């Protein structure tokens, strides 16, 4: 009897053999709407069923109040955004950084930090009760330095790690405390229904780490471990996302944070070659992604996509792998290439 999508994910995570290679889906809203229209699907669920995608159900939260009445374009952190059209897609980009001009720890503490009580927890309970159990469920997130950069500005955020460590620690402590309390409450309410949580930080560029290992170990890993330990105490697995050439930090992510799924495997980046990752880490993590989203999917042919999926099947044969694009599918990727990815793994991915 075929496994359900949830059973496939959990089999991999528990070191067992699923009936076939699980698949996942990451895409911009524009791509999802296009696929639904072109493939005749009424919603995301129909799209997943049509393409045999084992994608997750996400149990999310929404604030039940407006934080900044004088800034309708600002989110709960005080970050304002603007919509930018790049021709091939429309993206939301940061327009202002609420902590950019602050120079003291006292100013950081005085900022209007969000409160977990501001969420609509009753609505969250209702969502949790409606989960079908057919798909694995992801709940909770923790990606503090991305948020730090949005609040402070990327250049200043990077400088803080070296020149203003007290400010860096103050901001990161506020971000950790908030997310820990939110995730703890969410995990308690949805106890027994959540399979994975999202812990992340974009640590790699196209060529190497974005910051030194010393800074990663001081400012990021200790709180990542605490957040992962919280999830583990509720029987929840750790899905970890880092873009780029992150090879040098993977041993720390496994040893300290205790990651279980590594995403997205940008194998064209130095050190992220699939064969080397399988050789060094196949017995420690599940690999997620690895279908190139910068060249193959947007600019390759259908044959190129099929060949890459088949290459992945061969390379990851000794490992545990979830087939998915390397990060969000962009509008520039043709529908036929996206369909080819999922059709190829459906045709050849039985174990």
Per-residue pLDDT tens for 172-196? 999 999 999 999 999 999 999 999 9
Q: Which pLDDT does position 75 carry in this prediction? A: 87
Strand-pair partners of 263: 241
Q: Which pLDDT does position 68 carry in this prediction? A: 59
Q: Which pLDDT does position 208 carry in this prediction? A: 96
Domain parsing of the chain, residue ranges: 5-71+100-348
Separation CA 350–CA 313 (nearest Å):
10
Instruction: Provide the whole-model pTM.
Output: 0.96
Which portions of the chain are predicted below pLDDT 50?
none
Q: Which pLDDT does position 66 carry in this prediction? A: 60
Q: Which pLDDT does position 67 carry in this prediction? A: 63
Element (DSSP H or E) covering residue 339? helix 335-348
Instruction: Please compute, for residue 4, the number of CA atoms within 13 A of its CA located in the half-sphere on the CB side.
Output: 11
Percent of the chain with pLDDT over 90: 89
CA trace torsion 62, 101, 144, 331 (10° rounding): 70
CATH of the domain spanning 5-71+100-348, picked from 3.40.50.720, 3.10.560.10, 3.40.1350.10, 3.20.20.210: 3.20.20.210
Q: Which pLDDT does position 70 carry in this prediction? A: 62
Q: Which pLDDT does position 162 carry in this prediction? A: 97
Q: Which pLDDT does position 36 carry in this prediction? A: 98
Separation CA 233–CA 254 (nearest Å):
17
């Amino acid at each position: 009897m075929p496994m359900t999508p949830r059973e496939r994910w959990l089999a991999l995570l528990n070191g067992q053999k699923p009936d076939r290679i699980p698949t996942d889906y990451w895409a911009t809203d524009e791509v999802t709407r296009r696929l639904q229209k072109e493939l005749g699907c009424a919603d995301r669920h129909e799209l997943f069923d049509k393409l045999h995608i084992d994608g997750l159900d996400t149990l999310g939260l929404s604030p039940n109040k407006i934080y900044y009445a004088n800034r309708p374009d600002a989110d709960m952190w005080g970050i304002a955004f603007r919509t930018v059209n790049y021709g091939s897609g429309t993206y939301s980009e940061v327009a202002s950084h609420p902590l950019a001009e602050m120079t003291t720890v006292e100013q950081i503490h005085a900022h209007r930090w969000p409160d977990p009580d501001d969420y609509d927890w009753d609505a969250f309970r209702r969502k949790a009760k409606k989960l079908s159990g057919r798909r694995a469920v992801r709940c909770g997130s923790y990606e503090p330095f991305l948020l730090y950069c949005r609040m402070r500005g990327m250049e200043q955020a990077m400088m803080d790690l070296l020149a203003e460590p007290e400010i860096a620690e103050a901001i990161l402590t506020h971000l950790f405390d908030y997310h820990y309390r939110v995730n703890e409450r969410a995990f308690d309410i949805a106890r027994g229904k959540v399979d994975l949580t999202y812990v992340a930080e974009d640590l790699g560029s196209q060529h190497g780490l974005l910051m030194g290992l010393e800074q990663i170990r001081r400012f990021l890993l200790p709180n990542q471990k605490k957040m992962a330990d919280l999830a583990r105490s509720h029987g929840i697995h750790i899905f970890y996302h880092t873009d780029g050439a992150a090879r040098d930090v993977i041993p720390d992510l496994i040893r300290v944070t205790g990651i279980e799924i590594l995403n997205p495997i940008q194998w064209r980046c130095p050190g992220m070659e699939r064969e080397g990752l399988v050789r060094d880490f196949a017995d420690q993590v599940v690999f997620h992604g690895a279908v190139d989203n910068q060249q193959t999917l947007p600019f390759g042919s259908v044959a190129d996509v099929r060949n890459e999926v088949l290459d992945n099947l061969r390379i990851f044969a000794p490992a545990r792998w979830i087939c998915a694009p390397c990060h969000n599918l962009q509008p520039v990727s043709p529908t036929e290439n996206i369909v080819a990815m999922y059709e190829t793994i459906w045709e050849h991915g039985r174990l």
